[in-house]
Amino acid sequence: MITALPVSAADLTAALRDARRRTLALVEDLDDEQLMGPRLAIVNPLLWEIGHIAWFQERWNRRHLRGLPSLLEQADVLYDSMAVPHDTRWDLRLIGREKILAYMQDSLEDTEEHLRGDLTDEQIYFHLLALFHEDMHGEAFAYTRQTLGYPAPGAEVFGPLEEPPSTGAEEPSPTGDVEIAGDLFELGAHRDLPFVFDNEKWAHPVEIAPFAMARTVVSQGQFLEFVEDGGYERPELWVGDGRRWLKEAQPRHPLHWHREGKGPWQRRAYDRLVEIEASLPMVHVGWYEAQAYCRWAGRRLPTEAEWELAASTREKSTYPWGEEASPEGRACLDGTYGGTVSVTALAAGDTPSGLRQMMGNVWEWTATDFGPFPGFVADPYKDYSQPWFGDHKVLRGGCWATRFRMLRNTWRNFYKPDRRDVWAGFRTCALD
């Protein structure tokens, strides 16, 4: 059973060990050249990134909480992500694999040594911060391997690639809508949670008009219709910065899609090609592409307030299905199924109104710019949210590789609208 938020010393220790096992398993099969990889704006050298994870853990759990010196000389110079410019990380004199693995082990053991007895709220907060930071990088390792065409992680990392067992529930039409009544809704997190990120603080009233939302995210089969109807060659479907991106980037099809002559479309899944799977969700699609698809389909993206209302119901539930803190049989998360599953799978995770997979499978782009909620105050890790306000878009819901323990309906992700490498898709709403 996968549990939700770990807050006891024992649960935190187990969760931190679990996160570290996944981190190491995602890189252990790669050689030294692969650990560095090419210089790209959208990925980090993995050798740098695993050192950054260890640095972040000791930065908050050793140095901040206990006032002790770093476990590694020059750690800040090498691994402080806000002090080390991204494009210089390939040029650093990074320590080698064996030494960095030892640093990771030392950092984890140092943390575990002080996870004893009853913990204060402050201790819980910063240990969870380090845990979720590592969980997020684990997801990034999965899409970095996809971006660079490395082999898929083995079944010991994620589950075997398979569809979840059927519950016998009737599958909804991928084009069907659910009518959501308007409401004065409390957008954001309430103060009774043991941990939330600063960009979720705090719940505040938002008036939402009635709207209709698609039961499922857009599938590869649906997006294929847009591609074959010339969606990437029709500038009228692209507006504002999206049209500028289309002109400059000149995409002719979705990222990782390939076609030989008049043959069938294929998609690169890590280091191999597979035919387009019509029932699987559209993934590795940017916000600009999602917007163009919506214009083509006569639809629109939901706002994040609409998304949270639809996922939460009026009772402000923690998860789309209610309060039970387990995704088993309800959501494609934690790498359980080895990748994405059909957009109509996992009926047990439906919202009361019938929306499917509002959590898991793919992150969902919203129409909303990423910005602060009223009264925003940065948390001690000041670089988590504030530097990215204004030029990023909000995504909701998590993806197949996201760890369930850090998710809830109020969780906000954010990327620039041109990012296509992450595990992102989208669902649509009817035009008003």
Looking at the chain, the whole-number percentage of residues with pLDDT higher than 70 is: 96
For residue 363, give the 3-state DSSP assignment. Answer: strand
Does residue 208 have a pLDDT over 90? yes
- Position 168 scores a pLDDT of 56
Phi, psi of 424 (to 5 degrees): -120, 140
Other Cβ atoms less than 10 A from the Cβ of 376: the count is 14
Helix (H) or strand (E) holding 147: helix 121-147
Other Cβ atoms less than 10 A from the Cβ of 175: the count is 13
Least confident segment among 121-125, 175-179, 230-234, 313-317? 313-317
- Position 173 scores a pLDDT of 58
Other Cβ atoms less than 10 A from the Cβ of 385: the count is 22
- Position 192 scores a pLDDT of 87
More confident residue, 159 or 90: 90
Contact 302, 310 (CB under 8 A): yes
- Position 171 scores a pLDDT of 58
Does residue 287 have a pLDDT over 50? yes
Helix (H) or strand (E) holding 143: helix 121-147
Average pLDDT over residues 203-231: 97
List of E strands, 289-362: 299-300
- Position 160 scores a pLDDT of 81
Other Cβ atoms less than 10 A from the Cβ of 332: the count is 29
Please give the span between the terminal C-alpha atoms of the chain, in angstroms, as a whole number: 42
Does residue 406 have a pLDDT over 50? yes
Average pLDDT over residues 3-8: 79
Contacts of residue 404, defined as CB under 8 A and 6 or more positions apart, other chains included, come to: 2, 4, 326, 327, 331, 333, 334, 398
Q: How confident is the model at residue 23 (pLDDT cuts 50, 70, 90)?
A: very high
Q: What is the pLDDT of residues 354-386, one digit of tens each?
A: 999 999 999 999 999 999 999 999 999 999 999
Pairing, β 393-396 against β 363-369: antiparallel
- Position 213 scores a pLDDT of 97
Least confident segment among 156-160, 275-279, 294-298? 156-160
Q: What is the pLDDT of residues 28-42, one digit of tens each?
A: 999 999 999 999 999
Q: How confident is the model at residue 2 (pLDDT cuts 50, 70, 90)?
A: very low
More confident residue, 313 or 187: 187
- Position 296 scores a pLDDT of 98
Q: How confident is the model at residue 413 (pLDDT cuts 50, 70, 90)?
A: very high
- 211, with CB counted inside 10 A (0-12, 13-18, 19+), is buried
Q: What is the pLDDT of residues 311-320, one digit of tens each?
A: 986 678 999 9
Distance separating alpha carbons of residues 78 and 73, to the nearest angstrom: 10
Does residue 229 have a pLDDT over 70? yes
- Position 264 scores a pLDDT of 95
Tokens of 47: 């050798």
Other Cβ atoms less than 10 A from the Cβ of 128: the count is 21
Q: What is the pLDDT of residues 106-164, one digit of tens each?
A: 999 999 999 988 999 999 999 999 999 999 999 999 999 999 999 999 888 998 878 78
Average pLDDT over residues 33-60: 97
Its pTM stands at: 0.96
Phi, psi of 83 (to 5 degrees): -100, -20
Q: How confident is the model at residue 97 (pLDDT cuts 50, 70, 90)?
A: very high
- Position 169 scores a pLDDT of 54
Distance separating alpha carbons of residues 52 and 81, to the nearest angstrom: 7
Does residue 404 have a pLDDT over 90? yes
Contact 371, 274 (CB under 8 A): no
**Domains in the chain: ranges and CATH:** 9-147 (1.20.120), 158-432 (3.90.1580.10)
- Position 170 scores a pLDDT of 53
Query: 344-354 b/e with 16+ CB inside 10 Å = b?
Result: bbbbebbbeee
- Position 16 scores a pLDDT of 98
Q: What is the DSSP letter of 177?
A: E
- Position 1 scores a pLDDT of 31
